[in-house]
Structure 1
Amino acid sequence: MFPIIKISSEIQIPTYYLVISLTVIICLLWVVRRSHQLHLRQQETLDLSLLIMVFGFIGGRLFHVFYESFDYYRENFSRIFFFWDGGFVFYGGALLAAFADITYLYFKAHDYLEQYLDLLAPVLALGYTLGRTACFLAGCCYGRTCDLPWAIANRHPTQLYAVTWELGVLCILLGLEKSRALHKFFRLPGRIFYSWMILHGIGRLVMEAFRDDFRGPTLEMSISTWISWGVIVFGLILVLKKPLDSDL
């Protein structure tokens, strides 16, 4: 783990926020390039990216505050704004950002909603991969104790499990995108994104099975596990929502 980069005795940079900042820059550059490649409007693409950043930040923070550590913040609600101390939940940010983006697309570019979702899918996979790398460096989201050869600090490197899986998902999505002209099933707009939902949800279930950090009250399974199952089922419904003979 490498949580802090020490520039001097007075200047220290949190590795997590450095990696997240670089992730935002890389993803923004890629999403603009993809908008040109897929012949979609750059303005809408940048608007969607801004919504993801803003509502992802808010949703991730609020989910942590009100679900994971409400008693702590209730003692002093001003702590909610001390985001530099950490405390974000991926699914909280993802769900609120998804709601904001889909609402925007529905009113702004309804006819191209699923094309924009396909544009974002590989970028989201890359962003998640780099984000979990930041978690690994920070030492959060750690796994249960084990004595396996690849254990780190005698624990499952759950962050690296997620990184490895999502890199595979990224490769699959790019492969599907390049070959969609040859595969009738994936020719229908939206199916790349819905495939990401399914694959990401499966990978998250694997990660959750080995995690050991506190993530709020449990209902036999963690809330992230329940959400992952929901994402998988919803993704399957969406990817199969139209018969193959309609994929023209």
Structure 2
Amino acid sequence: MGIKIGDFFVAYYGALIIVGVMAGLLLAGILTKKFHFIFDDFILVAAFGGLGGMVGAKFLYLLVSWDQIDISRLTELSYVSELMRGGFVFYGGLAGGILGLMVCKKICRISVWKYAETYIPCLPLVHAFGRIGCALTGCCYGIPYDGIGAIVYHHSIIAPNNTTLFPIQVVEAGADLLIVVSLLVYIFKKRKSQQNSILLYCTLYASVRFVLEFLRYDLDRGQFLWFSTSQWISLAVIGIVVIYGFGKKGVTYAGQ
């Protein structure tokens, strides 16, 4: 779904991701100036993290959707191209992004984790715009619901059409923006001491995602026993944070 401008078709999801990236870069610029980081180094960190995130998000999508993939058509370029264009899983992107940061640290010799701890609010900011794109497109749709804010699709190729649905994408976008604010408050409060904003982000997002998954209706992403794949991952993330511990020595900002 999207709009046509002249001879060009602009997909809602892609357009909102671009807007989100621009908003993330604007916030990154503000944080760079505030904490005296080198913006060129940030671009390197973001590039490695972003590339790893894209690969990880696509990989996990293909993994959880494997039973829906026609293996006999994998030799068809058009079919493979269709698989590559759509479908991403956020948690796969998060894992891939972390691996990308590890590669960046190894290759570029940059204090990657200092940058990551400071710029982590940019991630949920971009994610919030992405979820608005989901709402406009119809992916990641909610359960049948006819209350306040219900969404009805008429021409979606993903969501069920002519059915009132819970606006789960908009709710998650709002939650992401609240996480952005919470992280910024935490980072600025801890600016002169060690902090663990990445662990805070993982805890907040995993908790929100676990709850909101009960309101999702696109169960083709996989489900095992009582919970969806994303809920199991959310529990694993929270467990890792608990084990790793907020008591772990964090990082300090450059110039402190």
Asked if the contact 2:52/2:100 (under 8 Å) is kept, the reply is: yes
Equivalent positions of 1:50-65 (< 5 A) are 50-65=47-62
Distance change in 2, residues 1:168/1:238 (3 Å): same
**How far apart are the structure 2 equivalents of 1:66 and 1:166?**
25
Asked if the contact 2:132/2:173 (under 8 Å) is kept, the reply is: yes
1:44 corresponds to: 41
Shift of 1:107: 6.0
Structure 1 runs of 4+ off > 6 angstroms? none
**Which deviates more, 216-225 or 159-168?**
216-225
2:148 corresponds to: 149
1:147 is paired with a residue of what secondary structure?
A: coil
1:169 corresponds to: 179
2:157 corresponds to: none
Distance change in 2, residues 1:70/1:55 (3 Å): farther
Shift of 1:83: 5.5
Equivalent positions of 1:128-143 (< 5 A) are 128-143=127-142
Q: Provide the TM-score with structure 1 as the length reference.
A: 0.84
Asked if the contact 1:158/1:210 (under 8 Å) is kept, the reply is: yes
Equivalent positions of 1:191-210 (< 5 A) are 191-210=196-215
* 1:50-70: CA deviation from partner (whole Å, max 9, x where unpaired): 112222222222222232145
Quick check: 1:232 aligned with 2:232? no
**How far apart are the structure 2 equivalents of 1:89 and 1:80?**
18
Shift of 1:164: 1.3
Q: Which structure is higher in helix share? A: 1
* 1:211-238: CA deviation from partner (whole Å, max 9, x where unpaired): 0113333212111111111222223344
1:241 corresponds to: 247
**How far apart are the structure 1 equivalents of 2:203 and 2:117?**
14
Distance change in 2, residues 1:80/1:239 (3 Å): farther
Aligned residues: 236
Shift of 1:241: 3.3
Could you tell me which runs of 5 or more consecutive residues in structure 2 were left unpaired when the two chains were aligned: 153-163, 251-255
1:145 is paired with a residue of what secondary structure?
A: coil
1:5 is paired with a residue of what secondary structure?
A: strand
Equivalent positions of 1:15-30 (< 5 A) are 15-30=12-27
Quick check: 1:159 aligned with 2:169? yes
1:114 corresponds to: 113
Distance change in 2, residues 1:106/1:234 (3 Å): farther
Distance change in 2, residues 1:41/1:206 (3 Å): same
Asked if the contact 1:194/1:236 (under 8 Å) is kept, the reply is: no
Q: Provide the TM-score with structure 2 as the length reference.
A: 0.81
